[in-house]
Homo-oligomer: A and B are copies of this chain.
């Protein structure tokens, strides 16, 4: 039985904790730390039988009984805490992004190279979604031949505040980064160059803050294949997360999940459910799978499903995309 410490008890920290409690039998959450720790969080943690509840994440880093650390704290602390956890000999599950700065990501990679016995993963939860996985399996099976085009549609239900947009590293680092990883995942390829056609169509304040809320992003892959992502920060009908891989012998396509398969047929037409509202609804099962598969990788000493290099690769594409959006030119990754 391995011991797990959770750093960060916000929304995603709680989701992961609950997943481990529900689905993992080979490891146990023994500690949680969060600088804010409102009473209800303390009560929630106690209810789950978590022994150590602290405001100081170093209580977890420094606890020799803890084997695995989940870093669910604010993004700007990810790389620093990763380094500390690695130094302390912990396996690390780090929420995305590892860092916005390539140097600091490389520092994490270097630290990992020095401790090959440690497992490290970055939380690209969409790779664990049943729909995207089914598309990837179809690609891998050879059913669609050689990959020629990857298409990703990714639209959030509602925009963040302009303030958040400004501090998040921008839409490409904050939102599209998942789609960049999805292109790599679905194609099994590296990205060579990127061109962005950005726009501010949803909230002018986001534009004033120097960011964009809409974009079409074209990517060229190393093999010569193409990819295209379309993003919007606001989608009236919910969270729109679709993908398509087109190849020499066919295509693999996935749609959204709705709350049910029910339809009403009447004079208005044939009406089905909207897509599930947002990432917690759509990816609930994916969050559970990503954590359980990481823990399995630790327990069985097998390869992690998403390694640190994937975390770096997506950030490098996001940096290139940000530059393309500014310059209006194709940028090499």
Contacts and interface: CB of A to CB of B under 8 A. Distances in A.
Interface stretch (A61-69, A243-251, A290-298): A243-251
A313 interface: no
Given A134-B260, A134-B273, A265-B253, A214 B226 contact: yes
A300 interface: no
A252 B22 CA distance: 35
Interface residues of A, number: 74
Contact of A261 (B25, B224, B257, B273): B257
A149 interface: yes
Interface string A234-260: 111100100000111111111111111
Contacts of A74: none
Nearest to A201: B148
Interface string A290-333: 00000000000000000000000000000000000000111000
Contact of A218 (B200, B218, B220, B235): B218
Given A201-B148, A236-B248, A248-B234, A260 B254 contact: yes
A254 B250 contact: no
B199 A224 contact: yes
Interface stretch (A82-90, A112-120, A138-146, A163-171): A138-146
Nearest to A249: B236
Contacts of A224: 199-201
B237 A134 contact: no
B248 A264 contact: no
A57 interface: no
Interface in A194-250: 195, 197, 199-202, 214-216, 218, 220, 224-228, 230, 232, 234-237, 240, 246-250
Contacts of A253: 262-265
A314 B230 CA distance: 23
A188 interface: no
Nearest to A47: B25
Contact of A270 (B131, B228, B267, B271): B271
14 contacts: A130-B259, A130-B260, A134-B259, A134-B260, A134-B273, A144-B236, A151-B230, A199-B226, A214-B226, A216-B228, A218-B218, A236-B247, A269-B272, A270-B273
